[in-house]
Amino acid sequence: MKRREFLTSITALSVASTIPNMSQAEVVNGGQPWVPGNVKTPLAPPRKGGLQYLTQHEFDTVGAIAERFIPADETSLSGKDAGCAIFIDRQLAGDYGNAVAIYRLGRFVKGTPEQGPQSPLTPAQRYRLGIAALDKAMQQQYGKQFLSLSSELQDQVLSEMEKDALNLGEDVETRVLFELLLQNVREGFLSDPIYGGNKDMTSWKMIGFPGARYDFRDLLPKKGLKLNIIPTSLIDNTL
């Protein structure tokens, strides 16, 4: 078999990027350019310690919000204790937070609802502006930052945001910010622990999701039964 015409090394693959543009192969011919041992594994689990994007105050605020969205009870850890704020910090520091996959060229013009979001802001920028605007509004209304409000009051404020009934100033679309926070907290709670949230697979145990399992053939006869599968994560798979 003829060797491929030209194939640069694919050994130096970097960690997972949102945009798969890291491939080095340009001309492939005469077989598949498969190199043993080169698996594009997900990011290594975030290490403890320093924040990558959020300030400590923002981080604490996000943690407080995560705790209100997902309070602790007998079914799971709280969103905060599950690591949602760590998850969000790491996501905002990466491709997601920087809107790498999003089309950001041309004029930004407000259109119809059907035409979808038309904002130059990245998720990371929305957090920065949003938390500052939230604190400013809380200062004006209650004389305290969001973080210092009682949990009952925090719930009330979040409910107002959900109903788009809280004015956060010109730069922040309240409903968009709320949906972003809720989505990201849920992501942190429900995604694989390899991304920093869902500590001890707490959410998967709550809902009964088996996680990173790849073969259910042995369970096919147990249709409609409660299965009580012990979940597994990508962290286990990469050991």
For residues 47 and 34, the answer to whether their CB atoms sit within 8 Å is no
Site map 134..173 versus other proteins, x via CB under 8 A? ---------------------x--x---x-----------
The whole-angstrom separation of Cα 196 and Cα 187 is: 10
Give the contacts of 185 (CB within 8 A, at least 6 positions apart). 62, 65, 66, 69, 70, 79, 84, 88
CA distances from 48 to 86, 87, 175, 237 (A): 9, 11, 32, 21
For residue 202, state whether it binds other proteins (rule: CB under 8 A). no
> Hey, which residues between 40 and 79 contact other proteins (CB under 8 A)?
40-42, 68-71, 73, 75-76
CA distances from 130 to 9, 133, 135, 194, 226 (A): 44, 5, 9, 27, 42
Which of 138, 190 has the CB closer to other proteins?
190
> Minimum Å distance from CB 140 to other proteins?
25
Residue type, 176: V
For residue 12, state whether it binds other proteins (rule: CB under 8 A). no
Pick the binder of other proteins from 12, 14, 32, 140 (CB under 8 A).
Answer: 32
> Hey, which residues between 99 and 138 contact other proteins (CB under 8 A)?
100-107, 109, 111-118
> Minimum Å distance from CB 182 to other proteins?
6
Which of 51, 102 has the CB closer to other proteins?
102
> Minimum Å distance from CB 121 to other proteins?
11
